[in-house]
């Protein structure tokens, strides 16, 4: 592999980079494979092969890190930062529910960890933006307030909570917190935006976050919506729905593939690639029926909106990913491997593929 690295350094090509990444993956050196793949994706942004290998290497590296951290947590001397890092990796992998469970397990063992309170509060805040459910909002407030109580200088705690106070209409609480925290975030653009928002907020805001969160759920709207301006917010889209539509005919399918469909906000088919003999409209309708059944109970069961995940059916599995107002669905038969399905989704949705 050293020879391959020298050849790549002397004459960089996508083919040499791909060969080297595969060699490191075969050797089980996933961290090095991911490192090279990231550099190659930046150097050869038009290579679909590199994009696919980058996604594969990242997935393998993250899986290895998650396994390592789970083992450490199950050991004799777990640390709060290990719980926080595991939660971060799970959240990045799209499993927010598992990330929250890790945070809660960590807080059961380390109730005075400000970092765990902030991470849990940030995730509940993101869910609150999506669900507008009282329990998500009040849980976010409680977690962030606790983090500040334990350690006022905890990174992001004051930013997240100030934003949340403004969004639910607790103007006076937001003003007090922003005035106190502004010295911790000198020249921080996020704090500057919150200060600007404070100037526009109604001075007659509510003082009770509990009641304010109930009002959000009842009215199905925030007093101010700042989720796109700073603080806690949903991760940015990796790729636009338009880009996915353009890639559907370019990314190769796999054994067990039944269909890939991009649905608009109203459930209309924006783009599709299905096996021969399949009607995209009928497949979209079937997907919609399955998803509706799953979503009907998810918000009220404290599992949050079903934005990403896998639904098992009698015929196989449906992989779902939300992209803003659109939704991507991959339908697989029971004979399809999870790695093939996830690799296909990564090739379609990763930024490096564009």
Residue-number span of the structural domain to which 143 is assigned: 95-219
Looking at the fold, whether 148 and 192 belong to one and the same domain comes out as yes
Q: Which pLDDT belongs to residue 266? A: 65
- The verdict on 203 and 274 lying in the same domain is no
- The verdict on 274 and 163 lying in the same domain is no
Q: What pLDDT, on a 0 to 100 scale, did the predictor assign at position 323? A: 67
Q: Do 262 and 244 contact (CB within 8 A), yes or no?
A: yes
Query: CA-based Rg of the chain, rounded to a whole angstrom?
Result: 23
Asked if residue 164 lies in contact with residue 140, where contact means CB atoms within 8 angstroms, the answer is yes
**Greater confidence, 344 or 240?**
344
* Confidence check: pLDDT of 233 > 50: no
Encode pLDDT of 257-296 as tens digits: 999 998 876 677 888 999 988 888 888 888 878 776 765 5
| Whole-number Cα distances in Å, 89 to 62, 257, 278 | 7, 28, 37
Q: Indicate whether 266 belongs to any domain.
A: yes
In a domain, 224, yes or no: no
Shared domain check, 211 and 137? yes
Question: Does residue 180 sit within a domain?
Answer: yes
- List Cβ neighbours of 94 (8 Å cut-off, separation of 6 or more): 308, 309, 321
Q: What is d(CA 4, CA 197) in angstroms, rounded to the nearest whole number?
A: 54
110-114, 147-151, 304-308, 311-315: range with lowest mean pLDDT: 304-308
The DSSP H or E segment spanning 270 is strand 269-274
Q: Are residues 170 and 100 in the same domain?
A: yes
**Is the same domain home to 274 and 308?**
yes
pLDDT at res. 238: 39
The domain boundary, picked from 172, 187, 219, lies at 219
Considering only residues 23 and 187, tell me which one the structure prediction assigns the higher pLDDT.
23
Tokens found for residue 197 = 């928002």
Instruction: Find the range with the poorest average confidence among 95-99, 170-174, 222-226, 297-301.
Output: 297-301
Q: Are residues 108 and 215 in the same domain?
A: yes
DSSP helix/strand/coil, 92: helix
What is the band of 354 on the pLDDT scale with cuts at 50, 70, 90?
very low
Residue 278 CA: distances (Å) to CA of 7, 13, 227, 312? 47, 40, 40, 20
Number of domains in the chain: 3
Q: Let me know whether 101 and 198 are in one domain.
A: yes
Task: Give the pLDDT mean for 124-150.
Answer: 93
Give the mean model confidence (pLDDT) for residues 325-333: 84
Residues 136 and 212 occupy one common structural domain? yes
């Amino acid at each position: 592999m050293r020879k391959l690295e020298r050849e790549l350094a002397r004459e960089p090509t996508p083919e040499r980079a791909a060969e080297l990444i595969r060699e490191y993956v075969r050797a089980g050196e996933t961290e090095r494979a991911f490192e090279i793949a990231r550099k190659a994706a930046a150097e050869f942004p038009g290579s679909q092969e590199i994009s696919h290998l980058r996604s594969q290497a990242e997935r393998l590296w993250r899986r290895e890190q998650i396994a390592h951290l789970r083992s450490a947590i199950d050991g004799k001397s777990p640390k709060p930062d290990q719980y926080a890092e595991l939660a971060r990796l799970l959240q990045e992998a799209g499993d927010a529910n598992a990330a929250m469970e890790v945070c809660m397990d960590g807080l059961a063992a380390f109730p005075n960890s400000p970092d765990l309170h902030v991470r849990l509060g940030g995730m509940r805040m993101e869910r609150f933006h999506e669900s507008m459910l009282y329990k998500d909002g009040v849980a976010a407030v409680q977690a962030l307030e606790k983090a500040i109580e334990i350690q006022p200088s905890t990174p992001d705690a004051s930013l997240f909570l100030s934003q949340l106070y403004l969004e639910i209409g607790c103007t006076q609480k937001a003003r007090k917190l922003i005035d106190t925290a502004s010295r911790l975030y000198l020249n921080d653009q996020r704090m500057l935006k919150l200060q600007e928002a404070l100037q526009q907020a109604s001075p007659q805001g509510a003082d009770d976050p509990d009641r304010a969160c109930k009002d959000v759920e009842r009215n199905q709207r925030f007093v101010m919506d700042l989720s796109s301006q700073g603080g806690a917010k949903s991760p940015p889209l990796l790729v636009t729905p338009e880009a996915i539509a353009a890639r559907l005919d370019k990314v190769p399918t796999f054994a067990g593939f039944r269909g890939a469909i991009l649905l608009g906000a109203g459930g209309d088919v924006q783009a599709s690639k299905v096996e021969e003999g399949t009607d995209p409209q009928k497949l979209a309708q079937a997907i919609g029926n399955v998803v509706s059944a799953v979503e009907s109970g998810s918000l009220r069961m404290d599992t949050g909106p079903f934005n990403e995940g896998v639904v098992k059916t009698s015929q196989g599995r449906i992989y779902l990913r939300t992209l803003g107002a659109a939704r991507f669905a991959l339908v697989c038969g029971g004979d399809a491997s999870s790695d093939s399905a996830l690799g296909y989704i990564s090739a379609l949705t990763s930024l490096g593929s564009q």
